[in-house]
A = this chain, B = another copy of it.
């Protein structure tokens, strides 16, 4: 018989959260390092999570009327330079193509760090009349940003994402689109990924290069750091002016249309790991888990066990569930640990005694709860339990968020609360960038968002004491 494989060990998250995270990424076989610094290999299990996210999110995009397209991956330098704020933000982290074959190029091209400029050039060509609006496009692709540091899923030089780019006749419509797409992201995080979010607006300092306003969803990780999980930008007509995009309106006037863009990336997978994972490994939300139920036969070589396990697998698959039956020669104990590491939401154990009693055991990954379930009503029980896993995961993450929001009334207090507890620190704020800079320098926190759900905590800015305009969230972010 084959030698038993080792059960992989990972670092406890309480001992070293960063190492725990890297261990999970590697041991659950989500991702691997390549020979280029900062560029990663999405392995089958990690990529399958992204495929499931893509599949479900794409359907939500299409419901809003968005259409998928694919634009070139290279941007001529002159095109990138057309919008001043935009190029200032992105040029320092562009990878530049300077040679084609053996010839030096007349103009260098950057690999897209984002595609606003390419979309604008195309919009210039295809938008002429009010009948051509709105244009609501989306692109699934990878982008490159030549970052100095990297971390699996959270910061790559190349990462997979989607970028929506839309053009509208009026500013109001474009603002509505910006909000609509932020809500699509927020609902997706909560209803599909079981990740509660805070919805709000970025400060001018933190907004996207070239945008008039950036909306964001911010999540809280296990270690009480913040993760920006998705953003949606309102551009006004700034790019349209820079790229000479006009349409003839119903009164026969030439006017510039208004623009948005919005994106999420594979960093969502990092968010899933750090929101739900535990010291046994990954814990996957059932709706995007590549394997929703793993079947582990017990006393596998006893007569009838494998046959029954295969029949059970077929029944579950026929009901549309993603199922794996592990028939390998490893011990059940090894298999339990392996699929816990991989975060499979439900484990189904089936042995000779179960078969005698026409039942099986279902074990929840999120809390270890065992249920004995009749094989006659297995599909129903499995679906009910998967819903329970989702709800349990969401409730736990929501508690972690709610219990880690702290109010502060001075910079000192904000700093102390962050050091003692982490989490989001809420304060009133005057709206000045100078106060954001002080918060960063003295307390190590950036502004995360000005939440849409405002509360009046007081009249004065916690940093400078001047009259406050808004309540704002601060945090240490990935």
Which A residues are within 8 Å of any B CB, using their own CB? Answer: 2, 32, 34-36, 39-44, 47-48, 50-51, 67-74, 76, 79, 92-102, 108-109, 111, 118, 121-122, 125-126, 131, 137, 141-142, 144, 146, 158, 160
- For A126, the closest partner residue in chain B by CB is B32
Provide the bound-state CA to CA distance between A43 and B70, in Å. Answer: 7
**Apart from the given pairs A39-B72, A96-B97, 19 other A-B contacts in the complex at a CB distance below 8 Å:** A2-B131, A32-B125, A32-B126, A34-B72, A36-B74, A36-B109, A41-B69, A41-B71, A44-B69, A44-B137, A47-B68, A47-B69, A48-B68, A72-B158, A73-B142, A74-B95, A92-B101, A93-B101, A95-B97
Contact A40 B122 (CB under 8 A): no
Provide the bound-state CA to CA distance between A32 and B69, in Å. Answer: 11
Contact B102 A92 (CB under 8 A): yes
Q: A35-B121, A36-B76, A72-B34 are in contact. Are A67 and B44 (CB under 8 A)?
A: yes
Provide the bound-state CA to CA distance between A122 and B67, in Å. Answer: 35
In the bound complex, residues from chain B placing their C-beta under 8 Å from that of A146 are 100-101
Provide the bound-state CA to CA distance between A228 and B72, in Å. Answer: 24
- The list of the 8 closest CB pairs from A to B, nearest first, reads A44-B67, A96-B99, A39-B72, A42-B70, A100-B146, A101-B146, A98-B98, A95-B97
Partner of A70, one of B41, B72, B125: B41
Partner of A67, one of B36, B48, B95: B48
In the bound complex, residues from chain B placing their C-beta under 8 Å from that of A125 are 32
Provide the bound-state CA to CA distance between A137 and B126, in Å. Answer: 38
**A4 CB to closest chain B CB, in angstroms?**
12
Provide the bound-state CA to CA distance between A42 and B41, in Å. Answer: 26
**A116 CB to closest chain B CB, in angstroms?**
14
Provide the bound-state CA to CA distance between A68 and B71, in Å. Answer: 22
Provide the bound-state CA to CA distance between A344 and B269, in Å. Answer: 39
Provide the bound-state CA to CA distance between A98 and B111, in Å. Answer: 12
Contact B94 A32 (CB under 8 A): no
Provide the bound-state CA to CA distance between A109 and B95, in Å. Answer: 10
- For A146, the closest partner residue in chain B by CB is B100
**A209 CB to closest chain B CB, in angstroms?**
15
In the bound complex, residues from chain B placing their C-beta under 8 Å from that of A39 are 72, 74
In the bound complex, residues from chain B placing their C-beta under 8 Å from that of A141 are 142
Provide the bound-state CA to CA distance between A102 and B91, in Å. Answer: 8
In the bound complex, residues from chain B placing their C-beta under 8 Å from that of A160 are 70
Q: A44-B68, A68-B48 are in contact. Are A94 and B98 (CB under 8 A)?
A: no
**A196 CB to closest chain B CB, in angstroms?**
28
Partner of A68, one of B41, B51, B144: B51
Contact A101 B94 (CB under 8 A): yes
Contact A35 B70 (CB under 8 A): no
**A322 CB to closest chain B CB, in angstroms?**
12
Contact B109 A111 (CB under 8 A): no
In the bound complex, residues from chain B placing their C-beta under 8 Å from that of A109 are 36, 95
Provide the bound-state CA to CA distance between A73 and B109, in Å. Answer: 15
* Selected A-B contacts with CB under 8 Å, 27 pairs: A32-B125, A34-B72, A34-B121, A35-B76, A36-B72, A36-B74, A36-B76, A36-B109, A39-B72, A41-B69, A42-B71, A44-B67, A44-B68, A47-B70, A48-B67, A50-B70, A73-B73, A73-B111, A73-B158, A74-B158, A92-B102, A93-B101, A94-B101, A95-B100, A97-B97, A99-B108, A111-B111
Contact B69 A97 (CB under 8 A): no
Contact B102 A95 (CB under 8 A): no
**A82 CB to closest chain B CB, in angstroms?**
11
- For A78, the closest partner residue in chain B by CB is B35
- For A40, the closest partner residue in chain B by CB is B72
Contact B122 A72 (CB under 8 A): no
In the bound complex, residues from chain B placing their C-beta under 8 Å from that of A67 are 44, 47-48
In the bound complex, residues from chain B placing their C-beta under 8 Å from that of A76 are 35-36
**A346 CB to closest chain B CB, in angstroms?**
22
**A247 CB to closest chain B CB, in angstroms?**
15
**A404 CB to closest chain B CB, in angstroms?**
34
Partner of A118, one of B34, B92, B97: B34
In the bound complex, residues from chain B placing their C-beta under 8 Å from that of A48 are 67-68
Provide the bound-state CA to CA distance between A70 and B30, in Å. Answer: 11
Provide the bound-state CA to CA distance between A70 and B98, in Å. Answer: 25
- For A290, the closest partner residue in chain B by CB is B67
Provide the bound-state CA to CA distance between A131 and B3, in Å. Answer: 12
In the bound complex, residues from chain B placing their C-beta under 8 Å from that of A70 are 41-42, 47, 50, 142, 160
Provide the bound-state CA to CA distance between A73 and B159, in Å. Answer: 10
